[in-house]
Amino acid sequence: MSSKALAAVSKVYAECGITSPFEIPLETIISSRNIIIREEVLEGAEARILMNENSGIITIDNRIYPSTKKRFILAHELGHFELHRNLIRGFNDTDETINHWYQYNLKSEEIEANEFAAEFLMPAELFRNECKGKIFDHRVIEHLSNYFKVSKTAAILKFVKENNGNHPIFVVCCQNNVMKWFKKSDDFYHYSLFSRNLPPPSGSVAFDIFDKGSAYYGEEQTQQIWKSDWFETKDNEKDTIFFEYCLYVKSYNYTLSVIWEK
């Protein structure tokens, strides 16, 4: 977490007199910062913000669904206002800037706005309390996503960030049947077969979803796989059991796989 985004979240919390994201509706906080929210049909963007030193206008696509997604986008735009209004007067946000936090070519302002949004909606301390001692599984993600009113994608990405040292995991995002980016916890040591813009490896759950149109729900979202499905194995190494939880987001045709060792 960049200290800049963290400091900006603390500042807004302090100035609004809140200690959790549930005390005042997000829209009220945004308007208290002198920002107007407009909802209309937007083509080529999920949302935009135009701003000067004292005020801003957020335009958000009125077709954005569900409300968890809208919440994240509004918090992202608030992040641009708090962090960047003196540097850049406007941002145009798309699937690329909102959902793909760990893409190699994402601009630093977008990473900061996502970090701001994630921290604003899921403050680190509250988040750690909610997943203390828990290893990754679909129930943890469902709980976090319901509790913080965020998408499962946002909950998963925050989990990877905050859960270092508790449960080593590897996260890979594929879109339109190619691998797009990955992120791993610092204590995850296996060497992945990730190769940008190539299809996911054939033993993986992500491959199943794109190639065979398989659909998994609830407990089935976690499947047993082999280490060699996603990671390099050395010559004499015995293959071992791993798990892959795969979330499929139909509206953008992307998968988010979370992989860990048995």
Q: What are phi and psi of 94, to 5 degrees?
A: -130, 180
* Cβ nearer to Zn ion, comparing 61 with 93: 93
Number of residues that bind Zn ion (CB under 5 A): 5
The yes or no reply on residue 113 touching Zn ion (CB under 5 A) is yes
**Smallest separation (angstroms) from Zn ion to the CB of 113:** 4
**Smallest separation (angstroms) from Zn ion to the CB of 171:** 21
Long-range Cβ contacts of 86-94 (<8 Å, 24+ apart): 86/53, 89/50, 89/51, 89/52, 90/48, 90/49, 90/50, 90/51, 91/48, 91/49, 92/44, 92/45, 92/48, 93/45, 93/46, 93/47, 93/48, 93/49, 94/44, 94/45, 94/46
* Cβ nearer to Zn ion, comparing 107 with 196: 107
> In the window 73-112, what residues touch Zn ion (CB under 5 A)?
91, 93, 97, 110
Centroid of chain to Cα 206: 17
Q: How many CB atoms neighbour CB 112 within 10 A? A: 21
Written as one letter, the residue type at 203 is G
* Cβ nearer to Zn ion, comparing 77 with 244: 77
* Cβ nearer to Zn ion, comparing 101 with 188: 101
The yes or no reply on residue 115 touching Zn ion (CB under 5 A) is no
**Smallest separation (angstroms) from Zn ion to the CB of 192:** 28
**Smallest separation (angstroms) from Zn ion to the CB of 96:** 10
Q: How many CB atoms neighbour CB 93 within 10 A? A: 23
146 vs 130: CA distance, rounded Å: 11
* Cβ nearer to Zn ion, comparing 58 with 247: 58
The yes or no reply on residue 163 touching Zn ion (CB under 5 A) is no
Q: Where are the beta strands (DSSP E) in 33-112?
A: 35-40, 47-51, 56-61, 90-93
* Cβ nearer to Zn ion, comparing 47 with 169: 47
75 vs 175: CA distance, rounded Å: 24
Residues in the chain: 262
142 vs 151: CA distance, rounded Å: 9
* Cβ nearer to Zn ion, comparing 80 with 158: 80
x/- track of binding to Zn ion for residues 10-49 (CB under 5 A) = ----------------------------------------
104 vs 110: CA distance, rounded Å: 12
Which residue sits closest to Zn ion, CB atoms considered? 93
* CB 52 within 8 Å of CB 85: yes
**Smallest separation (angstroms) from Zn ion to the CB of 30:** 15
**Smallest separation (angstroms) from Zn ion to the CB of 177:** 26
**Smallest separation (angstroms) from Zn ion to the CB of 19:** 26
**Residues binding Zn ion (CB under 5 A):** 91, 93, 97, 110, 113
